[in-house]
Amino acid sequence: MKKNLKRIAIVAMVAVSFAACKKTQESATTEPQETVKNADKVLQYIKDLGFPESSIVDNGTMFIVEEDITFPKNMEIPVNKAFGTEQYYTGSIVNSTNKLNIRVFVDPSMTSMGSEINNAIAQWNAVPNSTLRFNIVTTAPYDILIKNEALQSPNGVVCGAGEFPANGKAGAVIRINRDAIAGNSFAQRARTICHELGHNISFRHTNWSAIGESNATNVPGVTGTDSRSLMNGGQCNSGATVLSQKDKDATAVLY
């Protein structure tokens, strides 16, 4: 907790210094400066999505939120943000063209978990009444990169992290803490990957309210909490390993 407060203070201080930079170096056009300005906007975007300040960790080139959602500081902010008040999503989804073929590239650091990745992808691709499809590609161009990274948060080891879509494109990166989940069962390793894929197509944590988030957007017609949801957060090695009926219903509504 103490550590967390420290982090909040750091995020706040960084935010203040960004604001100060804005005032004193308005004419500067160097790339780092642009990144700094954009980081400011990203931080505001995260807050607009309703994530509590206490869940935002500044990790250098990106912010990590709720342990497993990453926001690159140079990300494109979605133009059409729909913020409102069960399966929940960000209000910004993969567009109708891109959803038909979301190309997934597996970094060499993650090929050892190819079977788990295939299992995760097959779950999303099998949702009835959804035309969303993930496809593995072995060369560029691709939409999502899955790579190994030894992620840490103030609360300890992070199993994986996804990124939300922006402006019609799926979130660009999924980081999996390969060594951290290596000892889990096959089903739980696949779950972590399946869960992060869910973030990259806009799903938030179904149990967002219970874990302190606010302002998530309801998927129309799919309401209420769902203990069986694979998109419940904070459940590495303990959560659902298959998409629940409501997860599927929500996917069918969005895609």
Binding site for Zn ion (CB under 5 A): 68, 233
Residue placing its CB nearer to Zn ion in the complex, 15 or 254: 254
Residue placing its CB nearer to Zn ion in the complex, 40 or 195: 195
Q: What is the dihedral of CA 18, 22, 25, 31, to 10 degrees?
A: 70
Q: How far is the CB of 44 from Zn ion (least distance, A)?
A: 21
Q: In this structure, what are the phi and psi dihedrals at residue 53, rounded to the nearest 5 degrees?
A: -50, -35
Residue placing its CB nearer to Zn ion in the complex, 68 or 86: 68
Q: Which residues are 144's β-sheet partners?
A: 104
Q: How far is the CB of 81 from Zn ion (least distance, A)?
A: 20
Residue placing its CB nearer to Zn ion in the complex, 40 or 226: 226
Q: How far is the CB of 32 from Zn ion (least distance, A)?
A: 30
Q: Do strands 62-65 and 56-58 pair parallel, antiparallel, or not at all (unpaired)?
A: antiparallel
Q: How far is the CB of 29 from Zn ion (least distance, A)?
A: 37
Residue placing its CB nearer to Zn ion in the complex, 40 or 232: 232
Residue placing its CB nearer to Zn ion in the complex, 78 or 233: 233
Tell me 75's DSSP state.
P
Closest CA to 127 of 221, 231, 255: 255
Q: How far is the CB of 23 from Zn ion (least distance, A)?
A: 36
Q: How far is the CB of 168 from Zn ion (least distance, A)?
A: 22
In contact, 82 and 32? CB cutoff 8 Å: no
Q: In terms of DSSP H, where are the helices of the chain?
A: 2-24, 31-48, 114-125, 178-181, 186-200, 245-254
Q: How far is the CB of 69 from Zn ion (least distance, A)?
A: 6
Residue nearest to Zn ion (CB): 68
Task: Specify the residue for token string 């140079």.
Answer: 74
Residue placing its CB nearer to Zn ion in the complex, 165 or 233: 233
The burial class, CB within 10 Å (0-12 / 13-18 / 19+), for 98 is: middle
Closest CA to 105 of 138, 130, 77: 138
